[in-house]
Amino acid sequence: MPEVDFWFSIGSTYSFLTVMRLDDWCAENDATVHWRPFNVRTVMSDQQNIPFAGKPVKSAYMWRDIERRAAKYHIHAKLPAPYPISDLTLANQVALLGMRDGWGKAFTQNLYRIWFEEGVDAGSETALSEAVLRCQQDPRLTLARARSPDTIAALETETDQAAKLGVFGAPSFVVNGEVFWGDDRLEDALSWARIGHVV
Amino acid sequence: MPEVDFWFSIGSTYSFLTVMRLDDWCAENDATVHWRPFNVRTVMSDQQNIPFAGKPVKSAYMWRDIERRAAKYHIHAKLPAPYPISDLTLANQVALLGMRDGWGKAFTQNLYRIWFEEGVDAGSETALSEAVLRCQQDPRLTLARARSPDTIAALETETDQAAKLGVFGAPSFVVNGEVFWGDDRLEDALSWARIGHVV
């Protein structure tokens, strides 16, 4: 079975498309995907990579492109969503905690729905608490654990790992050390996992 | 027959993929594409959009992604090609002149081959002269015409037009006012031309 590492950050707009379509995609392609939250803001800031801030034309295009592609994938969205989000680090600390506890994928999908369908900043305590609740977890306890030194260090370790692999943006897919950047490269990553080249 | 405007700049790396695959693609899809050279450097500089300079990780990824996709399209390339190119403006002035005289598409294809297969800077007089020669045109006369006030103004007009349409990078495809950015959005543009949405 082909295996793909899915490196994402809550806060990344294009990751919305992947987060929402990935379960169906895995079932259709008989593929296994490992969800790996990291802090894309750290990586991009370290690399002077600022894709949208101060770029209104490119930003407007980004929303339009996401709208067209969401329609293509039959994903509902109310666009533009609030951007950039406030506490990106905390959001991804919760996600990482959830991945280790087994509810991280559902949390991420819930949070993206709250952000992209309900229009609530995904880095706000309101959105984070609601997404945690929808996973039958305790928001107060979970956010406290997400803010603990252990979880802070764990996300930093994952972020370092992403950077070491050559990841510079989200979403990225990594297969046997090969990096594919962007929701639109998911099929290329699958092809790489299956036969070692892109078709 | 679906019609697509192809806005490109010689100097754009991803435009290589489109330039090399577009003739076959048009034949396969029974589509008409209008080749529209413009000065992407002006547009990007006006919009503070600097995708690769000072970004070694993203640049390395870009070449690897182009390599994988060139293989997918069965396009030969010797990578990385010299980048950035020197006289981007002149290269696109020649291309625009050629589009008006009927040899612009062949010139662009020849120049991209010289740049990406033979490794010669596409903005150099050497590469430009050779690409012009391969179109059975006189290099000295053609470069002089490309440097004339008329051609300078014509490229600026086209560049203004691209920016007005919302183009912010190359390659871009425009269909009924809808902008699609990137070689990987060519299929989306075709779908838009045929049925008004992306499938």
Location of structure tokens 């010797």 = B78
pLDDT at A53 over 80: no
Check residue B70 and give its pLDDT: 97
Cβ <8 Å between A166 and B58: no
Give the phi and the psi of residue B124 in degrees, each rounded to 5.
Answer: -85, 155
Cβ <8 Å between B168 and A198: no
Check residue B156 and give its pLDDT: 97
pLDDT band at B144 (very low <50, low <70, confident <90, very high): very high
pLDDT band at A113 (very low <50, low <70, confident <90, very high): very high
B55: exposed, middle or buried (C-beta count within 10 Å: 0-12, 13-18, 19+)? middle
Contacts of A55 in chain B (CB under 8 A): 47-49, 168
- Report which secondary-structure segment, H or E, holds A162: helix A149-165
Where exactly are the structural domains of chain B? Answer: 3-195
pLDDT at B34 over 90: yes
Check residue B191 and give its pLDDT: 97
Whole-angstrom distance, CA of residue A22 vs CA of residue B36: 37
Contacts of B168 in chain A (CB under 8 A): 55, 57-58, 61
Contacts of A168 in chain B (CB under 8 A): 55, 57-58, 61
Check residue A49 and give its pLDDT: 72
Residue of A nearest to B65 (CA): A180
List residues in chain B touching A: CB distance below 8 A. 47-49, 54-55, 57-58, 60-61, 64-65, 68-69, 71-72, 166, 168-169, 179-181, 184-185, 188, 192, 197-199
pLDDT at B51 over 80: no
Among candidates A49, A60, A184 on the partner chain, residue whose Cβ is nearest the Cβ of B58 = A49
Whole-angstrom distance, CA of residue A7 vs CA of residue A158: 9
Which of A14, A55, A68 to mutate to test binding with chain B, by most B CBs within 10 Å of its CB? A68
Cβ–Cβ under 8 Å, residues B163 and B46? yes
Cβ–Cβ under 8 Å, residues A5 and A36? yes
Average of per-residue pLDDT across A109-135: 98
Cα distances from A128 to residues A96, A148, B33, in angstroms, run 13, 16, 47
Whole-angstrom distance, CA of residue B178 vs CA of residue B196: 10
Whole-angstrom distance, CA of residue A93 vs CA of residue A143: 9
Cβ <8 Å between B65 and A184: no
Average of per-residue pLDDT across A78-107: 97
Average of per-residue pLDDT across A167-186: 97
Cβ <8 Å between A179 and B61: yes
Query: Is A3-195 assigned to CATH 3.40.30.10?
Result: yes
User: How many cross-chain Cβ pairs, A to B, lie less than 8 Å apart?
Assistant: 67
Which of A58, A64, A73, A164 to mutate to test binding with chain B, by most B CBs within 10 Å of its CB? A58
Average of per-residue pLDDT across B14-43: 97
Whole-angstrom distance, CA of residue B88 vs CA of residue B37: 11
Closest among A183, A127, A163, A128 to A39, alpha carbons compared: A163
ipTM for this prediction: 0.92
b/e sequence A40-58, b meaning 16+ C-beta within 10 Å: bbbbbeebebeebeebebb
- H helix intervals, A5-51: 15-29, 40-46
Residues in Cβ contact with A149 at an 8 Å cutoff, skipping those fewer than 6 apart: none
